[in-house]
Amino acid sequence: MKIPCDSSSIISLADNCLLRILEGTQHKFVIPKRVKMEIFDSPFSTKRFKLRAIQINSFLQRETMEVVDDPFIHSYSEEITDLANSLLSYRGDNVKIIHQGEAEVIACLKLLKSNTIILDERTTRHLIEDPDRMRKYMEARTGLRMEMDEAVKRRIVKELAGINVIRSAEVFAYAYEKGLVAYHGAKGALEAGLYALKFSGCSITEEEIKDYIELLG
Amino acid sequence: MEDIKKMIDKYFAELIVDFENDREMELRELSNNSMESAAIRQDKRMVDISTVAYALAKLMSKPHLFKSDQWNRFKAHILQELKAKKSMEETLKRIIEDVNSFDIDLGNYVRDIIEKARIKQASRAYALGISLKQASELTGANFSSLLDYVGATKIHDRPFTKSKSIVDRYKATKKALGE
């Protein structure tokens, strides 16, 4: 199966030298051109992230990962971005929730007729899995009452129904259980790996890490 | 629109008064308030006010800068820029350049203060609920640096972050990646 990946997950895995576990899954991972820009072209021009960019690029040369570029990705991601960014409003003004870059991974999934994406970012995950949660989150954080366009919500739910979101944490947990992690069986390895991904930006809570330890540890 | 203009003018006026009176804490508060408004309204002028307020407060918090001979000259120059009857957007852009030069000349860090301010404010925008890439785009913060910064915060432990149980999520993962 071909599985589209967002830059957030590739960066979290690369930061912890875990990209190789993708190879062990026997799947092909796909990124839109813009994601390649985010994980390679742009960091390659910085002193701070150049080494990681080089490491990622060497992984991109392998057969496990493929870059796709198709006019559909641009048009469909624009449609999803427009929909998402008209979902919530405050005092009549729409709140721009997501960026087209995030929607491109969803477009990639539609193009490939896949049903799973790898994505570490919280807001896009909420948009796919539970748009109401996104509103609750934003209202709780800002203290402002947001209006939700119910017709837009219905269109989003219909459009994104059935998409399975996997974070880098899930990929790691799976690889750990299957013995694909080099230090499998080392005491505390599962917990260490999940926390390392969390500290690299994966949107997993401490409570979820504890749940994983209970489930697989 | 009228509301936004009034809000921006108010923030800008606060920026001048707080900086003139060396009010570091108030500048930080202004930076946060302005960023919260910017995240909801996606207004880059508010982002710039937030960035400048944060950077000026940060410079003031460093004794080797605040107590240096150059500080008074720097402060007078910034106030002159802030009070000049020029376009607010251009003024803020010039101040951002001035702060950067001052920090590079006298600072101790490789990562400049404006970049730090952008990352900090982008992380605040993300904490409020907008996506990582949108936060990075809005503030001009480097995406990789932002991800790095967010990972070191408690943002992902806030209520409503979890959207599915681990049992369900892992079951779906195994189904997708292969039993």
Q: Is the pLDDT of residue B4 over 90?
A: no
pLDDT at A26: 87
B79 Cα to chain A: minimum distance (Å): 32
Contact A25 B174 (CB under 8 A): no
Residues of B in contact with A144 (CB under 8 A): 40
Chain B interface test: which of A203, A204, A209, A210 (most B C-beta within 10 Å): A203
DSSP class of B174 = H
- pLDDT-based confidence at residue B62 (cuts at 50, 70, 90): confident
- Rounded to the nearest integer, the mean pLDDT of chain B is 91
Residues of B in contact with A48 (CB under 8 A): 111, 142, 144-145
Domain assignment of residue A215, yes or no: no
| Dist. CA A91–CA B150, nearest whole Å | 29
Contact A48 B167 (CB under 8 A): no
Domain assignment of residue A172, yes or no: no
Asked whether A121 and B155 are in contact (CB, 8 A), the reply is no
Chain A interface test: which of B131, B143, B154 (most A C-beta within 10 Å): B131
Domain assignment of residue A87, yes or no: yes
| Dist. CA A110–CA A102, nearest whole Å | 14
**A67-87 b/e with 16+ CB inside 10 Å = b?**
ebeeeebbebbeebbebbbbb
pLDDT per residue over B112-154, tens digit each? 889 999 999 999 999 999 999 999 999 999 999 999 999 999 9
pLDDT per residue over A173-193, tens digit each? 999 999 988 877 788 999 999
Instruction: Return the number of other C-beta atoms located less than 10 Å from residue B66's C-beta.
Output: 14
Contact B133 A98 (CB under 8 A): yes
Domain assignment of residue A216, yes or no: no
Closest CA to A18 of A45, A52, A49: A52
Q: Give the total number of structural domains in chain B.
A: 1
Domain assignment of residue A18, yes or no: yes
CA distances from B100 to A74, A132, A162, B14, B153 (A): 36, 41, 48, 22, 26
Nearest CA in chain B to A21: B177
The rounded percent of chain B whose pLDDT value lies above 70 is 96
Closest CA to A171 of B161, B176, B152: B176
Asked whether A95 and A81 are in contact (CB, 8 A), the reply is no
| Dist. CA A69–CA A91, nearest whole Å | 38
Residue B167: alpha-carbon gap to chain centroid: 38
Model pTM greater than 0.90?
yes
Contact A174 B158 (CB under 8 A): no
**A41-62 b/e with 16+ CB inside 10 Å = b?**
ebbbeeeebeebbeebeebbee
Which residue from A25, A46, A133 is facing B142, i.e. has the nearest CB? A46
**Low pLDDT (below 50) residues in chain A:** none
Q: Is the pLDDT of residue B9 over 90?
A: yes
Q: Give the total number of structural domains in chain A.
A: 1
Q: Residue B130 has which token pair?
A: 């907008």
ipTM of model over 0.85: yes
Domain assignment of residue A14, yes or no: yes
Nearest CA in chain B to A163: B172
Which residue from A96, A129, A202 is facing B130, i.e. has the nearest CB? A96
| Dist. CA A45–CA B82, nearest whole Å | 33
Supply the CATH number for residue A63's domain: 3.40.50.1010
Chain B interface test: which of A35, A80, A95 (most B C-beta within 10 Å): A95
Q: Which domain does B123 fall in, by range? A: 2-177
Domain assignment of residue A28, yes or no: yes
The residue type of A104 is: E
Q: Residue B38 has which token pair?
A: 């910017």
Instruction: Return the number of other C-beta atoms located less than 10 Å from residue B13's C-beta.
Output: 11
Chains A and B form CB pairs within 8 A to the count of: 163
- pLDDT-based confidence at residue B179 (cuts at 50, 70, 90): low
- pLDDT-based confidence at residue B1 (cuts at 50, 70, 90): low
Domain assignment of residue A190, yes or no: no
Q: Which domain does A150 fall in, by range? A: 2-167
Q: Is the pLDDT of residue B110 over 60?
A: no
